[in-house]
Amino acid sequence: MSTTISTQPVDTNSDQPVYRWDGEFADRTLEARFVKDTWGEVVARSRAVMLAGLVFMVAAGVDYITLGYSQAFLQLLALRVLTLIVAFVPVVLFSDGRDPKAFYASVSFTQIYLFTVFLMSSIVGTSPVRDMAVATIVILFTYYIAVPNRLHLNALVGVVCSAALIVTIGFTPDISLYGLLVLSVMCVTVNFVGIQLGRLWGRLRRTEYLSMEHHKTMAGRLAEEIAERQVAETEARANERSFEGVFRAAPLPLVLVHPGETKIQLGNRAACDLLGVRPEEMKTLDLQKVIEARMVENRFEDVKTFLSAREPAEIAIESADGRHLWVNVTSSAMRYRGAPTILIALHDITHRREEEERLRDARDVADSANRSKTEFLANMSHELRTPLNAIIGFSEALDREIYGALGNDRYKEYAQDIHSSGIHLLNIINDILDLSKIEADKFELAEEIVSLEDTIDTVMRIVATRADQAGVKLERSVKSGLGVNCDERALKQILINLLSNAVKFSREKTTVRVNVTETDTALRIAVIDQGIGMAPEDIPEALEPFRQIDGTLTRTYEGTGLGLPLARRLTELHGGQLTIESARGEGTSVLIDLPLERIDAPADQNEPEIVSA
């Protein structure tokens, strides 16, 4: 019968197993597993018990020769037949291993029963004491060595059989006390030796079992590792084939090099076209000769170090056919055919670099032209102011008739028109000059503590005449005593430009308000009108110099388009921000946010008071 192998693994990597006195594992779970896995061997060894029964049957012939055909012979024959049947009971009923305890109990009973039959046969056959003692020793050794019983049960059977033999022989009249003592010592010795042999045999079997299980486990792991490696190699080969297919068909130029080298190992068709070589020439190409050394010498020692660093960069290369190109180099480490490899992508950016060069040149030209324009405007503004001041002065003298009457009122009206037009033109020139200085970074702020209330009142008085002509009411709301650290002239110019715009674009019988409030982050000056407004998408254009929403020659509202841009630039010079909130037909709010640190105000400020101009 073959040995049954358990499917559960045995932990052979643990510490050395602990054994009991009878040679069994101290770990009962491990012992139960051992019994289950070696049960076939136990059943096979149980044939020794069956063999003993057959020996007793053969002994029937000896009984016949000794006793003849008699009643005693028939009794012994029947007893031996019964013994053979009893010997078969453990194998027939309990050999399936479902109940090992019942099997061992049955074997123990059979052992005692066989010895009892032997003892009775010896008594009936009047066998000599010496023969009985020798036969007992043989039987006990057979029990310990051949019978597949547990050692503690075999020891119990041995003690019982030895005691039965000593008691039986003790009633024999021809045995002396010394002979009985010798027999007892022999029985003790046999049991002691049998126990030691059984213990040693049990430990050897279990050690061999652990060794076999360990080898099985290692063999299983090795088989799994081999299978996994085979699967991994198969997948790697498949991945390599897929990679090569994608690599060769990729539209992006790709090459492979070994780490620390510059010679190309493999390149795709796109790389051949970029570098100007045939596919068969690719493996002879060295990137050391393709990449211009000056492109990497500032960051790396040489091209080899640059490729090993795997840092993206835009560099210039020279193809085999003499073309000078710009490429964006990106790389990554990988394994190809089992070896470390660097995958390098060469993205042709020559067109983009050329476009950037053209844009940079165009920007430089535009910047130069803008600087020239700014210088021209500044110079022209300065040159225009001198004669314009004379025109304004002479027209004012004529208007006042300082040197005598003009004689005709129309001449006086002409002088007034010349004076107002000159003032208007001077304001435009001043705006152009200030904007030119700001763009040239030559505008310097003369900062001082200014009363915001007084400044707003002054500006409202300046704009009041124009507001009255347009039928627009002016109002302001500001805390008294509120001071601000700023350039007073610049602040007045900001407010004049904003109020003038608000009045110009307001409807008759509407109000333009100037509100001053403090937010969490800024001092806010808001100029709010109820005029025609503008579309939100037109606001950026309104903030550009010399730009107006209505740019036609027949536009309704006059102006140079400098008011809002100049106000924004002056606000930004103060570290502030100018924003516009407007909608067509709903009026406009221009918000000036100055940093809170520019506020200079006493602690006992009054609440803002609404005042009309």
Phi-psi region of 393 (alpha: psi -120 to 50; beta: other; left: phi over 0): alpha
**Tokens, residue 447:** 């900062």
pLDDT in tens, 257-286: 888 787 888 888 888 888 888 888 888 787
Round the CA-based radius of gyration of the chain to a whole number and report it. 59
pLDDT (mean) for 360-389: 72
The pLDDT confidence band at residue 540, using thresholds 50, 70 and 90, is confident
Q: CA-to-CA distance for 338 and 328, rounded, in angstroms?
A: 28
Q: CA-to-CA distance for 258 and 69, rounded, in angstroms?
A: 101
pLDDT in tens, 582-601: 999 889 999 999 999 998 86
pLDDT (mean) for 171-183: 79
pLDDT in tens, 194-226: 889 888 888 888 888 888 888 888 988 999 999
Under a CB-based contact definition with an 8 Å cutoff, are residues 94 and 140 in contact?
no
Under a CB-based contact definition with an 8 Å cutoff, are residues 564 and 497 in contact?
yes
What DSSP state is assigned to residue 606? P
> Mapping DSSP to helix (H, G, I), strand (E, B) and coil, where does residue 408 land?
coil
Least confident of 187-191, 278-282, 356-360, 537-541: 278-282
Q: CA-to-CA distance for 520 and 510, rounded, in angstroms?
A: 31
Q: Taking the domains of the chain in order of start, what are their residue ranges? A: 28-220, 250-348, 355-439, 447-612
pLDDT in tens, 545-569: 766 665 433 344 555 667 888 899 9
| The CATH number, out of the four listed (3.90.100.10, 1.10.10.60, 3.40.50.300, 3.30.450.20), of the domain defined by the range 250-348 | 3.30.450.20
What DSSP state is assigned to residue 4? P
pLDDT in tens, 451-504: 999 999 999 998 898 899 999 999 999 988 899 999 998 999 899 989 999 999
pLDDT score of 603 more than 60: no
Check residues 479 and 103 and name the one with the higher pLDDT.
479
**Domain 447-612 is found in CATH 3.40.50.1820:** no
Annotate 49-92 with three-state secondary structure: HHHHHHHHHHHHHHHHHHHCCCHHHHHHHHHHHHHHHHHHHHHH
**Tokens, residue 143:** 């029990």
Question: What's residue 448's pLDDT?
Answer: 93
pLDDT score of 344 more than 50: yes
Cα atoms found within 13 Å of the Cα of residue 483, Cβ hemisphere only: 10
Burial bucket for residue 479 (CB in 10 Å: 0-12, 13-18, 19+): middle
Q: CA-to-CA distance for 104 and 82, rounded, in angstroms?
A: 20
| Topology match between the domains 355-439 and 447-612 | no
What is the residue whose two structure tokens read 């779970």?
Answer: 29
| The CATH number, out of the four listed (3.30.230, 1.10.15, 1.10.760, 1.10.287), of the domain defined by the range 355-439 | 1.10.287
> Mapping DSSP to helix (H, G, I), strand (E, B) and coil, where does residue 262 land?
coil
Q: CA-to-CA distance for 564 and 535, rounded, in angstroms?
A: 16
Instruction: For Cα atoms 235, 240, 244, give the angle at the middle one, nearest 5 degrees.
Output: 150
Question: What's residue 479's pLDDT?
Answer: 87
